């Protein structure tokens, strides 16, 4: 493998890693928001009883 092909491959791998990190981070953020919404809804139903 020549130097240019190796560098191109490293950039592709880095781009995939960054993409997956961003996507998994977004899924984690959505999960935390969903959990907070569930907790708030549960607290709201308890306070109306």
Give per-residue pLDDT as tens, 1-49: 799 998 999 999 999 999 999 999 999 999 999 999 999 999 888 877 6
What is the predicted pLDDT for the residue at 33? 98
Distance between CA atoms of residues 22 and 11, nearest Å: 16
Could you tell me the residue ranges of all domains in the chain? 21-49
pTM of the model: 0.73
What is the predicted pLDDT for the residue at 49? 61
Distance between CA atoms of residues 31 and 44, nearest Å: 20
């Amino acid at each position: 493998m020549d130097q240019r092909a190796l560098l191109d491959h490293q950039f592709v791998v880095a781009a995939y890693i960054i993409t997956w990190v961003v996507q998994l981070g977004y899924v984690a953020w959505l999960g935390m928001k969903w959990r907070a919404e569930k907790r708030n809804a549960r607290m709201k139903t308890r306070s109306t009883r």
